[in-house]
Amino acid sequence: MMAGRGARRTRPLGPLSCHPRGSFIGGVRGGHEPVASPLMFQDSNLALSLSVFRHASFAWFVGGQTPSMITHWMQKIGIGWLVWELTRSPSWLGVIAFVEMAPLVFLSPFTGVLCDRVNPAKPLLVNQCIQFVQAAALAILTYSDLIRIEYILALSIIAGLNAPFGASARHTVLPRLIPREELFSGISLFSAIFNVARAIGPGLAGIAIVWWGVESVFAIHAAGELFYILSFPFFLGAVPELARGNRGGMVAEIKEGFRYAASHAGIAPILVMLCAISFFSRPLIEMLPGFADEVFGRGASGLAWLGSAFGFGALVGVGWLASRGRIAGTTGVMFTTSLGVGFSMIAFSATANFWVALPMIGALGFTTAVSGTGAQTLVQYAVKNEIRGRVMALYSIIVRGSPAFGAVLMGWFADFYGLRLTVAVSAVGCLSAWAWALRRRSAMIAALEGAGPGDGQTMPAARL
């Protein structure tokens, strides 16, 4: 049913019952410094990787953002649960996910150009302020029992229109805060933290919903956003603007970014692979409220268990990946865990037993986090710095825009055929994408791991 009705406020249920030359990075402009070889990372370990935090601006950027990232994913689950409580409709879950993510597809190319032209920390600050206001509005409306599905839809549209500015800015700020020789460590650690946040956020949301009600999730996210906003003075002045030649029009710059990505022997197939896997697998998280209630009959406490199991698997995965401390072999790791995403989805959908499903969703958390972190690290390591904002905008379109369309399709399909069959069919799509990319694996390794930052090899786009 696609009509809103008065809110049924969710109350606490008690305890759980169940690189490039001539670029500017890290304060060095121009020059022809030697390109860092991937071999320099071979003997790295986790402790050496963590030494990147000695750069104060980087530490403030990441440390201030971490609570915001975690609570962002908490809010996504909270919105999903509240939508389910109001409508009991998988279609509405898909619609809300769509309006939150779909604007990335249309706006990210322009926000990517913007972040290549200006200090990207400035649009990022505006983005965070808007997120704070949205979260506070959700909290107030829910606490006061005034929340309706129409208000959630309107606030989700605002969040969706705001998201592309933050996504493009975050990917562009980080490489300007650390020296080139530490780029891999900084990118991989930030990617790991992002994926950890995506992993543990749902579990924490489930726990908060059980103990304090869904309204608490929105208040917690508002606090996380406020903390990040207050950290901006500590790194904002450290983010330099790139010295660039004559700029063309915005559309011409967008086309340049797309051509670069499509002709890169490593980035292009990663993006194609990510598009399919994101489309077919990421919407599953949006459907967890339906699984917890309809499939397993466990309600909010079941959602907490499922989110926690997913988060635990992801924590183990990103901890292991960060401990590797090197670029060599990351493509192979990404391939293996991408295959695991498909098989984990099949296993999860194959059972109606809650306790059997928990380790399956944990395995999905592990494979999703490792493959996502690995893919983002490889793209960031290979891309030219002067075009980074545009390429990472394309990356954001794929990893966050694709799930928007996937969520609508999954929600519609689930209304007719059920959640379990929907996830099983989606898993076949993930496995098909993995099989398509497999024959390009050797070329991807050479382009992504064999080149210094920003020196990626290219190939004709027709080979795709």
Mean pLDDT score of the chain, rounded to an integer? Answer: 80
Cα–Cα distance measured from residue 102 to residue 179, given in angstroms and rounded to the nearest whole number: 34
DSSP notation for 237-295: GG-PPP-------HHHHHHHHHHHHHTBTTHHHHHHHHHHHHHHHTHHHHTHHHIIIII
Higher pLDDT, 2 or 53: 53
- According to the model, what pLDDT value does residue 338 have? 94
Q: What's the alpha-carbon Rg for the chain, to the nearest Å?
A: 21
Q: Which of 172, 144, 139 is nearest to 385 (CA)?
A: 172
Domain ranges of the chain: 55-457
DSSP notation for 169-185: HHHHHGGGSS-GGGHHH
- Reading the block at residue 159, the tokens are 């969040």
Mean pLDDT of 406-419: 86
Give Cα 280 to chain centroid, integer Å: 15
Mean pLDDT of 330-351: 94
Q: What is the pLDDT of residues 312-334, one digit of tens each?
A: 888 788 778 877 767 788 899 99
- CA dist list (Å): 316 to 313, 358, 443: 5, 15, 29
Higher pLDDT, 222 or 42: 222
Give Cα 282 to chain centroid, integer Å: 10
Residues with Cβ within 8 Å of residue 449, at least 6 apart in sequence: 38, 327, 328, 329, 330, 331, 378
55-457: CATH homologous superfamily? Answer: MFS general substrate transporter like domains (1.20.1250.20)
pTM: 0.69
Give just the sign of the alpha carbon dihedral 370, 164, 247, 242: negative
Cα–Cα distance measured from residue 275 to residue 266, given in angstroms and rounded to the nearest whole number: 15
- According to the model, what pLDDT value does residue 372 have? 86
Higher pLDDT, 319 or 270: 270
- According to the model, what pLDDT value does residue 451 have? 54
Cα–Cα distance measured from residue 389 to residue 110, given in angstroms and rounded to the nearest whole number: 10
Question: Is residue 28 classed as helix, strand or coil in its secondary structure?
Answer: strand
- According to the model, what pLDDT value does residue 248 have? 62
At residue 6, what are phi and psi to the nearest 5 degrees? -55, 150
Q: Which of 198, 165, 168, 355 is nearest to 281 (CA)?
A: 198
Question: Given a cut of 80, is residue 375 above it in pLDDT?
Answer: yes
Question: Given a cut of 90, is residue 219 above it in pLDDT?
Answer: yes
Question: Given a cut of 50, is residue 352 above it in pLDDT?
Answer: yes
- According to the model, what pLDDT value does residue 359 have? 94
Mean pLDDT of 394-415: 82
- According to the model, what pLDDT value does residue 452 have? 53
